[in-house]
Structure 1
Amino acid sequence: MDFHWFLPTNGDSRDIVGGGHGTPSGSAGGVRPLTIGYLGQIARSAEQLGFVGALTPTGAWCEDAWLTTAMLTEVTERLKFLVAFRPGLISPTLAAQMSSTFQRLSGGRLLLNVVTGGESGEQRQFGDFLDKDARYARTAEFLTVVRGLLRGETVSYAGEHLRVENAKLARVPEVPPTIYFGGSSPAAGPVAAEHADVYLTWGEPPAQVAEKLAWIRTLKPDMTFGIRLHVITRDTAEQAWAEASRLLRNVSEQDIAAVQAGLRQSESEGQRRMLDLHGGSRDGLVVSPNLWAGVGLVRGGAGTALVGSHTEVADRIEEYASLGISEFILSGYPHLEEAYWFGEGVLPELRRRGLWRHPAGEKGTAPTAIPFAGVPLEKAS
């Protein structure tokens, strides 16, 4: 299994930072401003700890993913960048050219996260006035052109939404970037089956994830699957749950009501499923063993976190892996510190079980050898 971390391109904090799917950016306090220096710290730490890549989001609420990650290739060596972008806001030929350039000049470190877009209001900010179903149809057309160009083909295509004539790339990458795609709407399945290498789901309880994976397998039996989750992992379960409680301590009922009202306007089926896990209430936030829906009270998009001791979080990851999940895209608050907790606590446990190895092989730095906050680390069992 592979693990990816997250780059907070709208700033970071010890509190839950809003953003994505209609929520306002910002935090209750302690915001760490976005700088390449800080993102570089996170990226280098993720690389050293053993993460394969790092997701960078897209939207009006954050910095541009293409430009940010291109800068970060200069301060990392192995880490791949899962660049989120939205079809329809850019020409497919230009997107293929950008992908080819990034892939070749970075030494094969580009991954593409195709985001159709679930919020018409935000899409209109970028000049896109299609409805949701039309956006999915356009995504399929877009990926038809992009994948053909990245294979080195000359593409002429005339669809309902997109048209190109004799499009061709001057240079084609040796290995095209892997395409990640998520969507819970009925219209998303066929697009994923035809064009995606990895299908992504948000962190729903295992039974719901199993149903979603079964749906996609009926369309593409050999699909690879990934899951997007937050993590709060500590030496003991008590410490982890105390941190989860702290994240919501300064959040008022008015804050929750305001965010939930905005999110209920979302057209995203995945967002609706996230909201249904908690119903906007602080009660019953543990929706499955070690799966906490508190993040989704004040943040759009991925709204659940794995919370517990390192062993418990490893257990839950193994459970998702048993369903067919092989890629885990994780994040936490703040992202630098939580990357260390996971990398120094959970990854050694998964390695002990024979479920994970450092992507750099024997040359990779063992997670237990990296000091955190100046405190010597104990040897992992």
Structure 2
Amino acid sequence: MSITSIASEVEFGWFIPTNGDGEFVGVPVEREPSQQYFVDVARAAEKAGYEFALIPAGGDCWDGWIVGSWVASATTRLKPLVAMRPGLITPVLAARMAATLDRMSGGRALVNVVTGHYPIDLKATGDPLHGSHDERYERTREFLEVVKGVWHHEGGYANGYTFTGSHYQVEGGVCLPAPVQKPHPPLYFGGSSEAGKRVAAEAADVYLMWAEPLDWISGQIAEMEGYLKELEARKGIRRQLKYGIRAQLVVRETEEEAWAAAWRILSKADPEKVTSREKLHANTDATNQKRQMDLWQQSQQNDYVIGPNLWSGLSAIRGGGAVAFVGTPEQVSDRLLEFIDGGVTSFILSGYPHLEEAEISGRLLLPLVKRKLSERRPGQQQGIVPTI
């Protein structure tokens, strides 16, 4: 078994808050979503040194494809990471939309494959499999086979791509225009269940996890590497994955300032709302959300500290990747390096409010962590993943 250094492949992404923004969680947003604010955040992230920006998906978010196109037109390097949602859009149409965004942005489109969400949201958007967790991932497997099929297919309508599966039947499928990036725009994929991980092993380019203690993340990476080996043994398909995490960020000049800023985010939340949000999270069938709530519950007696400079305090208020890196630039950069050494190459970060926190992290954190990476000699770079 050989090993591959990953230090030179590390990328940092920010977040566009398309459902509003502000200094606090658990209260009405202070800044309503708007075209100008999305552009302001995107430009601040690009100036700060972030390579890409996640555009969220969900019931209270503005449409990610339109927002992604908007911010791509207002930036020069920032790559929009936009969600494809199997079950809510057909795969050939999704492939064309992604290819069009890739063309219009000059090869900057990134695709986030979102299979699940809260069942109530999936039901509200018309997904017939809103209550069938594993079947949604089987549908996603077919969906991505079709998307890649039409991306790679060079024939016209007369000799188009054909696919017959349990969820999709395609005859004469064509993607015009073709994407700029080869072999295709990178596919980011999250899903902590066995069903999700098996599909990721077959189809993803970057496997995304919500931030957890390093040993939990290492366990998930080891599990994914096992599924890759199983895939090769079962189908003769040899693939490699990159790994990423989604996390919050609170970085200040001193540790005291950082923790005060973190707790300030929660300072206006109604305790009863904390309880009700926890119950909402408990109703999801998403394994990754359940893992986040497990961390929150296990850390209640420790001020929600779940590891060095890792804090789970936001998890009961907001869903998704709520765990935060909290500390000084030196501390947080060291924590990021530890995750890099554990195999993580993609970091999707955010903070409240997103405009100011992009600037702060771009000034205090990113230059430091990038400098530390660049100064590592080859023998010092511990960030390795197995090549199978």
Check the 8 A contact 1:28/1:251 in 2, yes or no. yes
Q: Any idea what the Cα deviations from partners look like across 1:114-147, whole Å, max 9, x if unmatched?
A: 0101422211111112111110000000000001
What is the aligned partner in structure 1 of residue 163 from structure 2?
157
Q: Secondary structure at the match of 2:314?
A: helix
Q: Which letter does structure 1 place at the counterpart of 2:174? A: K
What is the aligned partner in structure 2 of residue 286 from structure 1?
305
**Structure 1 CA distance for aligned equivalents of residues 79 and 168 of structure 2:** 30
What is the aligned partner in structure 2 of residue 146 from structure 1?
147
**Structure 2 CA distance for aligned equivalents of residues 169 and 4 of structure 1:** 28
Q: Secondary structure at the match of 1:255?
A: helix
Q: Which letter does structure 2 place at the counterpart of 1:157? A: F
Q: Which letter does structure 2 place at the counterpart of 1:132? A: H
Cα distance change of structure 1 residues 171 and 74 upon mapping to structure 2, 3 Å threshold: closer
Check the 8 A contact 1:120/1:129 in 2, yes or no. no
Is 1:166 equivalent to 2:165 in the alignment?
no
**Structure 1 CA distance for aligned equivalents of residues 338 and 125 of structure 2:** 40
Is 1:110 equivalent to 2:145 in the alignment?
no
Q: Which letter does structure 1 place at the counterpart of 2:200? A: A
How many residue pairs match? The answer is: 347
Unpaired stretches in structure 2, ≥5 consecutive residues? 1-9, 155-159, 229-238, 377-388
Q: Which letter does structure 2 place at the counterpart of 1:134? A: E
Is 1:239 equivalent to 2:245 in the alignment?
no
What is the aligned partner in structure 1 of residue 315 from structure 2?
296
Shift of 1:171: 2.5
Q: Secondary structure at the match of 2:373?
A: coil
Of stretches 218-227 and 232-241 in structure 1, the one that deviates more from structure 2 is 218-227
Of stretches 196-205 and 250-259 in structure 1, the one that deviates more from structure 2 is 250-259
Q: Any idea what the Cα deviations from partners look like across 1:208-227, whole Å, max 9, x if unmatched?
A: 00000001111236210111
What is the aligned partner in structure 2 of residue 19 from structure 1?
none
Cα distance change of structure 1 residues 143 and 79 upon mapping to structure 2, 3 Å threshold: same
Is 1:222 equivalent to 2:240 in the alignment?
yes
- TM-score under structure 2 length normalisation: 0.87
Shift of 1:78: 0.8
Cα distance change of structure 1 residues 280 and 122 upon mapping to structure 2, 3 Å threshold: farther
Q: Secondary structure at the match of 1:11?
A: coil
What is the aligned partner in structure 2 of residue 185 from structure 1?
193
Q: Which letter does structure 2 place at the counterpart of 1:209? A: I
**Structure 1 CA distance for aligned equivalents of residues 301 and 60 of structure 2:** 29
Check the 8 A contact 1:118/1:132 in 2, yes or no. no
Cα distance change of structure 1 residues 316 and 281 upon mapping to structure 2, 3 Å threshold: closer
2:294 alignment partner, one of 273, 276, 299: 276
Check the 8 A contact 1:347/1:356 in 2, yes or no. no
**Structure 1 CA distance for aligned equivalents of residues 126 and 265 of structure 2:** 36
Check the 8 A contact 1:229/1:330 in 2, yes or no. yes
| Superposed CA RMSD | 1.6
What is the aligned partner in structure 2 of residue 316 from structure 1?
335
Check the 8 A contact 2:193/2:288 in 1, yes or no. yes
Shift of 1:29: 5.0
Q: Secondary structure at the match of 2:81?
A: strand
**Structure 2 CA distance for aligned equivalents of residues 150 and 133 of structure 1:** 26
1:15 alignment partner, one of 8, 21, 24: 24
Q: Secondary structure at the match of 1:276?
A: helix
> Which structure is richer in relative contact order (CA contacts within 8 A, separation 6 or more)?
2
Check the 8 A contact 1:65/1:85 in 2, yes or no. no
**Structure 2 CA distance for aligned equivalents of residues 120 and 30 of structure 1:** 24
**Structure 1 CA distance for aligned equivalents of residues 71 and 268 of structure 2:** 33
Unpaired stretches in structure 1, ≥5 consecutive residues? 17-26, 358-381
Shift of 1:328: 0.3
What is the aligned partner in structure 2 of residue 206 from structure 1?
214
